[in-house]
């Protein structure tokens, strides 16, 4: 069967998606390293502010600018890549600022939006902002850079479907016609706060001001007025991003664990991707409990284990019984996980990789290379 790495062979963009805590960042980094070892110029972009990716790649820091993984770090891990491995961590606020600067008609409008307090809050904390900027940055990198492969580690959202819904939600907010209609008299007046009390037709705005405060409503009016004329540019850009995600050179990699919630989320995301005609390149099931005993062979009984353990059993006479019980529990867990995964594997026909649970976290380049071999 085709491996996940082979399935990504002819693609330029890989998007790793899945529930939080399933190892998306590690899987993304391992896939990127694998392609770099084979000769590609590869970038892995993460949203996770934790330093796990930087530490694993041997980098002191990760920022909004791409950094190349030093050759001597790869050599110290016993790796000799024929290509290049680059990495970066998305700065949501900085990416928002870049997007505003790109669409603003002039420097004065750009500075006005960037100074607005509502914009500053929205660009850092609005629900869906991370996901929207992740897609925006992915599009920018794929069109402006010469990477053979860009691997995106998507945000650790509570529900992975936010990744596809976020752009529409943000655009609805920016182009909210209801808010514009309610605030139309004040928006047209320019100096929102000063003119509010003078507007005979601004009853709604004055009522809102009593609940939200004059300053908040003033910031909102200034924010919406600042974005006037820019909404179409944002909408067009979001359409281009969505088109890129549906092209054959893009591949979604679903990352899951044997946990029921992670499996359900992977199934839901797969259905959504299928409905949106977006290409699925593979499935990675991480942290699977490994089989320690051949499935077709009966588990050993306590008496059978007691004899080989006779030397140690003198100090622990029940060692054989405890070992037999532990092995039985372990094998029961492994079997239960495989039964839980059966539906997921049957539903997703793409390449898949089953990665066993490791004794420790993958924390360096050598560990990523070992994981890549399993993908």
Q: What DSSP string describes 341-366?
A: HHHHHHH--SEEEEEEPPSS---SHH
Q: Structure tokens of 20?
A: 């939080």
Q: Structure tokens of 335?
A: 């079997």
Alpha carbon distance 115, 175 (integer Å): 20
Quick: pLDDT tens for 73-114.
899 889 988 999 999 988 877 887 887 887 788 888 888 878
Phi and psi at 84, nearest 5°, equal -125, 145
Alpha carbon distance 356, 264 (integer Å): 20
pLDDT in tens, the chain (375 residues): 789 999 998 899 999 988 888 888 899 999 999 999 999 999 998 877 667 778 788 787 788 889 999 889 899 889 988 999 999 988 877 887 887 887 788 888 888 878 777 777 766 666 566 777 777 788 888 888 899 999 998 876 555 566 666 666 666 666 655 555 555 554 554 444 445 444 444 555 555 555 555 566 566 666 666 666 666 777 777 788 888 888 999 999 999 989 888 888 888 888 888 888 889 999 999 988 888 888 778 888 877 777 777 666 566 667 778 888 888 888 888 888 888 888 888 888 889 999 988 777 778 898 899 899 989
Q: Which structural domains are found in the chain, ordered by start?
A: 4-169+243-293+350-373 (3.40.50.300), 172-227 (no CATH)
Quick: pLDDT tens for 206-222.
555 555 555 665 666 66
How confident is the model at residue 363, as a pLDDT?
81
For residue 352, list its beta bridge partners. Answer: 283
Residues 6+ apart with CB under 8 A from 304: 320, 324
Q: How far is CA 62 from CA 22, 44, 304, 317, 345, in A?
A: 22, 11, 54, 54, 35
β pairing state of 149-153 and 67-68:
unpaired
Matching residue, tokens 């959504």? 272
Instruction: Say how many residues make up the chain.
Output: 375
∠ Cα 108 135 55 (to 5°): 105
∠ Cα 237 240 244 (to 5°): 140
Alpha carbon distance 302, 321 (integer Å): 4
DSSP 121-182: HHHHHSTTHHHHHHHHHHHHHHHHS--SEEEEE----SSTTHHHHHHHHHHHHHT-HHHHHH
């Amino acid at each position: 069967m085709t491996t996940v790495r082979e399935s990504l062979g002819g693609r330029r963009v890989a998007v790793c998606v899945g529930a939080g805590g399933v190892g998306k960042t590690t899987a993304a980094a391992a896939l990127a390293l694998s392609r770099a070892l084979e000769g590609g110029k590869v970038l892995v972009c993460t949203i996770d502010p934790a330093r796990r990716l930087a530490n694993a790649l041997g980098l002191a820091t990760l920022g909004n600018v791409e950094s190349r993984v030093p050759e001597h770090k790869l050599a110290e891990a016993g790796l000799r890549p024929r290509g290049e491995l680059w990495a970066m961590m998305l700065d949501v606020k900085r990416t928002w600022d870049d997007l505003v600067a790109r669409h603003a008609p002039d420097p004065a409008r750009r500075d006005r939006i960037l100074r607005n307090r509502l914009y500053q809050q929205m660009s850092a904390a609005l629900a869906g902002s991370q996901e929207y900027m992740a897609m925006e940055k992915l599009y920018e990198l794929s069109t402006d850079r010469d990477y053979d492969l860009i691997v995106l580690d998507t945000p650790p959202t509570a529900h992975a479907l936010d990744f596809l819904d976020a752009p529409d939600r943000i655009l609805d907010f920016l182009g909210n016609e209801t808010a514009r209609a309610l605030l139309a008299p004040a928006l047209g007046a320019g100096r929102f706060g000063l003119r509010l009390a003078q507007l005979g037709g601004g009853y709604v705005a004055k009522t809102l001001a009593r609940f939200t405060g004059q300053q908040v409503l003033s910031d909102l009016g200034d924010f919406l007025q600042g974005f006037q004329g820019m909404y179409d540019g944002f909408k067009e850009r979001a359409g281009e991003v969505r088109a890129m995600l549906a092209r054959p050179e893009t591949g979604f990699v679903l990352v899951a664990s044997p946990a029921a919630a992670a499996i359900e989320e992977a199934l839901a995301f797969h259905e959504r991707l299928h409905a949106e005609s977006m290409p699925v390149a593979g499935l990675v099931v991480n942290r699977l409990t490994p089989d320690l005993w051949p499935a077709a062979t009966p588990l050993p009984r306590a008496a059978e284990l007691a004899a080989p353990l006779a030397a140690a059993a003198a100090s622990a006479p029940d060692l054989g019984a405890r070992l037999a019980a532990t092995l039985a529990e372990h094998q029961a867990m492994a079997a239960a996980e495989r039964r839980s995964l059966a539906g997921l594997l049957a539903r997703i026909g793409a390449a898949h990789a089953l990665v066993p649970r490791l004794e420790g976290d993958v924390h360096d380049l050598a560990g990523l290379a070992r994981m890549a071999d399993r993908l």
